[in-house]
Amino acid sequence: MIPLSQFEELVRAALREDAPCGDPFGEALSGNGSGSFLARREGIFCGGPVAK
């Protein structure tokens, strides 16, 4: 688990990357998407609500 301050900085960096022009890649996609998570071994999956 990463510290809250590190998480917040990662989110800020992602938002700065998209500002001020927005996210052209994300805007190029429309509709609902789907995907799969593939793991090499059994483990614990965290962050599901964030991935949604």
What is the value of pTM for the model shown?
0.42
Q: Is the pLDDT of residue 34 over 70?
A: yes
Mean pLDDT of the chain: 82
Would you say 7 and 15 are in contact if contact means Cβ atoms under 8 Å apart? no
Would you say 37 and 29 are in contact if contact means Cβ atoms under 8 Å apart? no
Per-residue model confidence (pLDDT) at position 5: 92
The better pLDDT of the pair 47, 43 is held by 43
Q: Measured between alpha carbons, how far is residue 7 from residues 11, 14, 30 in Å?
A: 6, 11, 28
**Other residues' Cβ atoms within 10 Å of the Cβ of residue 35:** 6
Per-residue model confidence (pLDDT) at position 52: 64
Residues 36-42, mean pLDDT to the nearest whole number: 86
Q: Is the pLDDT of residue 11 over 80?
A: yes
Distance from C-alpha of 18 to C-alpha of 40, rounded to nearest angstrom:
32
Per-residue model confidence (pLDDT) at position 8: 92
